[in-house]
């Protein structure tokens, strides 16, 4: 099964974020295949988005966001956690989708060992949790997720209909009013693996 093509990511970031729900994130590791269905994402769009790492312009840390679409942007936060984004839109414009939660599908045993918990819901419900479960760290920053030999990529999954999609403000964003209220978080309604609080609001 080939990964989703670069064209999928070279689109409007809100559209990519919404369409990523239901797709399958795959990590090849130690000859095994770890995977999970994407159930929660957030969009970060341009330097004018005051919640984005690109708000201060291009730096060595956020360089991947300015690169070609379909590549990973992996950063470390609070000194100990990692978060995975997938770069979107045209090269040169800093935008990406943060992968916030998965429903684990394959490789649960390996995930349990890495996470140190047994409950499947707690394996990948949260941006740092899923990175720990799949051993995603800064070595994968800028990795091409559309390459034929990628060890991290997105496979096609069953589409999620609009009536199962909810939106809301992004988690953990503070400060600027627009940045913290704009509904750029997308998640599958009532899914147990979604992290954080669950406001309910329909897509359109």
Partner DNA sequence: GGATCGATCGGCT
Partner DNA sequence: GCCGATCGATCCG
- Nearest distance in Å: CB 139, DNA: 13
Answer yes or no whether residue 172 interacts with DNA by CB under 7 A.
yes
CA dist., res. 20 & res. 41, Å (int): 8
| Spatial CA neighbour of 10 closest among 120, 106, 97 | 97
Answer yes or no whether residue 85 interacts with DNA by CB under 7 A.
yes
Answer yes or no whether residue 192 interacts with DNA by CB under 7 A.
no
Answer yes or no whether residue 62 interacts with DNA by CB under 7 A.
yes
* Cβ proximity to DNA, 23 vs 62, nearer residue: 62
**Out of 12, 48, 59, 156, the residue judged to bind DNA by CB under 7 A:** 59
Answer yes or no whether residue 104 interacts with DNA by CB under 7 A.
no
CA dist., res. 4 & res. 154, Å (int): 6
Residues 134-153 that bind DNA (CB under 7 A): none
| Spatial CA neighbour of 42 closest among 62, 60, 20 | 20
* Cβ proximity to DNA, 78 vs 113, nearer residue: 78
**Out of 10, 171, 180, 203, the residue judged to bind DNA by CB under 7 A:** 171
Answer yes or no whether residue 170 interacts with DNA by CB under 7 A.
yes
CA dist., res. 36 & res. 143, Å (int): 19
Supply angle C-alpha 97, 98, 100, rounded to 5.
135
Partner residues linked to 156 by β-bridges? none
- Nearest distance in Å: CB 22, DNA: 20
Answer yes or no whether residue 110 interacts with DNA by CB under 7 A.
no
Answer yes or no whether residue 72 interacts with DNA by CB under 7 A.
no
In our burial notation (b when 16+ CB lie closer than 10 A, e otherwise), range 105-132 reads: bebbebbbebbeeeebebbbbbbbbbbb
Report whether 19 contacts 8 (CB < 8 A). Answer: yes
- Nearest distance in Å: CB 31, DNA: 26
Answer yes or no whether residue 65 interacts with DNA by CB under 7 A.
yes
CA distances (Å), 159 to each of 79, 89, 180, 188, 194, in order?
A: 36, 21, 28, 11, 17
Token pair for 191: 């899914």
Size of the site for DNA (CB under 7 A): 38
Q: Where does this chain bind DNA (CB under 7 A)? A: 42, 44, 51-54, 56-57, 59-62, 65, 73, 76-81, 83, 85, 96, 98, 115, 117, 122, 126-129, 170-174, 195-196
């Amino acid at each position: 099964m080939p990964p989703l093509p670069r064209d999928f990511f070279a689109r409007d970031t809100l559209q990519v974020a919404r369409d990523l729900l239901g797709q399958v994130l795959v990590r090849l590791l130690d000859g095994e295949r770890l995977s999970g269905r994407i159930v929660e994402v957030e969009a970060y769009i341009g330097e004018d988005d005051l919640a984005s790492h690109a708000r201060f312009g291009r730096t060595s840390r956020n360089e991947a966001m300015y690169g070609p679409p379909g590549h990973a942007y992996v950063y470390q936060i609070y000194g100990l956690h990692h978060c995975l984004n997938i770069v979107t839109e045209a090269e040169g414009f800093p935008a990406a989708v943060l992968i916030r939660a998965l429903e684990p599908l394959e490789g649960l045993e390996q995930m349990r060992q890495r996470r140190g918990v047994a409950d499947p819901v707690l394996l990948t419900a949260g941006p740092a949790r899923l990175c720990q479960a799949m051993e995603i760290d800064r070595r994968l920053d800028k990795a091409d997720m559309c390459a034929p030999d990628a060890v991290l990529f997105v496979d096609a999954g069953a589409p999620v209909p609009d009536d199962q999609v909810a939106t809301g403000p992004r988690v953990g964003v503070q400060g600027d009013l627009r940045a913290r209220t704009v509904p750029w978080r997308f998640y599958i309604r009532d899914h147990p693996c979604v992290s954080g609080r669950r406001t309910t609001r329909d897509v359109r």
